[in-house]
Amino acid sequence: MSSNKSYLQQLLLYMAVVVGVFSLAASVYTMHSERNYKKLVLQSRLEEYADRIAIFGPEVSFNEEVRVTLLSKEGGVLYDSDEPDLSTDHSKRPEFLECREDRPGWAIRHSETEGRDYCYLTKMDGDRIIRVAVPYEVDLKHFLRSDTIFVVVGVILLLIFLALIGHSMLRGYKSLEDALNAVESERRNNQRLKREMTHNIAHELRTPVSSLRGYLEALTDFHDMDDERRELFTQRAYLQTLRLSDLLRDIGLVTKIEESPEMIKVERFALKEIVDSVLDEFAEKISSRGMTVENSVPENLHMNGSPSLMYAVFRNLVENSYKYAGEGTEIHVEAKPGRCFYYDTGVGVPPEMLDKIFERFFRIPGMTGTDWNVDTGSGLGLSVVRNAVGFHGGEIKASLRPEGGLSFEMTLPLSYR
């Protein structure tokens, strides 16, 4: 009997060490995958900048500090937004050497001319190479850095397993067996969620890219296409570029809120000004649908938080109303200390779908914009809203109005001066 008990203890100890080491290895692998994903998001943003430069020229404006350089295929400088001396040879730079017709070049390195570190991306554009660069400063370094919490979790799991073994030597092995099963179940669940998220992102990117490619191939191959159809295909291709841009923007925003909240700037601001700014942005679109808007937020109602995140909250809510509420509907926004209310008088959503609208990439089957000029969005809009409200310590609840339409109630740290 004593021999069997000793054998079981040794077996449990061996299993705990193996599972603990496996958990640590899985955590390290997750860190590596996370860093590659964040790098892909940044590269996609810089490649979008390069595409805009190819269309509108090197002096196009951006929402952040971007250095623009045009290079010949030999590495000579044709244009540089920050360097008046165009005699520098860039043919030995890593991002130049890596650039090919079928893929962009990429490098993070120190700029001798600027005396600071940059993230560089190069992309072929006919007989020249477009290079865009953003400063590699504290915020960007933090964004690209893998979250060490995964390794910490792995170590903690290993320690927990060892502690449970010590307990099992005194109390038996049944509770440890249950704990190991629970941890393994949780690990598999996390892996499943990670796979689903990666699959969803890949699917959402593939759809607009495939559509865009189809329209552009038609425009390129069918030279005798009539002007009306050519204009239609051009507009639809442009629509898909907007969808891609929105998708990358929302993915980056959700990632930033969930994984790097300390990067988000917090200040005190008036909520009414944020709502007014969003309504000004959508004024022409809203008017084209015969919709009306009422912003009843008091001017002296303020909150401590992120103006950019609250702008994203109302941008997504108004955008959803514009796309799906229907012609001639109303949008209403009001607030009081601690709470904010938003509703439209549109078609609403099916009651059975109400609990799912905040899920990532969830779309109501068969629900699209009222004409082809209104795309179906990224599927992340309300997920961004929920995460942004959560960042401010609040909650959001959706409900159907008896009079018709969809209503949202948010708890936010709002107060008068």
Per-residue pLDDT tens over the stretch 330-358: 999 999 999 999 999 998 888 888 888 87
Q: Which residues contact 410 (CB under 8 A, 6 or more apart)?
A: 313, 339, 340, 341, 342, 389, 394, 395, 396, 397
Domain boundaries 57-144, corresponding CATH code: 3.30.450.20
- Average of pLDDT values for 95-103? 87
Mean pLDDT over each residue of the chain, to the nearest integer:
76
Query: What pLDDT score does 109 carry?
Result: 87
How many Cβ atoms sit within 10 Å of the Cβ of residue 377? 21
Check pLDDT > 80 for residue 247.
Answer: no
- Average of pLDDT values for 60-89? 83
Domain boundaries, the chain: 57-144, 264-416
Which of 388, 381, 390, 386 minimizes the C-alpha distance to 398? 386
- Average of pLDDT values for 252-280? 80
> Which structure tokens are listed for 319?
């955008």
> Which structure tokens are listed for 304?
């401590």
> Which structure tokens are listed for 66?
């971007």
Question: Does 57-144 match 264-416 in CATH topology?
Answer: no
Rg (CA), the chain: 26
Query: What pLDDT score does 244 carry?
Result: 62
Q: What pTM was estimated for this model as a whole?
A: 0.46
Per-residue pLDDT tens over the stretch 289-317: 999 999 999 999 999 988 888 888 898 89
Q: Which residues contact 269 (CB under 8 A, 6 or more apart)?
A: 302, 303, 305, 307, 310
Determine whether domain 264-416 maps to CATH 3.30.565.10: yes
> Which structure tokens are listed for 181?
């099963």
Per-residue pLDDT tens over the stretch 231-240: 887 877 776 6
Gap between the Cα atoms of 45 and 245, Å rounded:
8
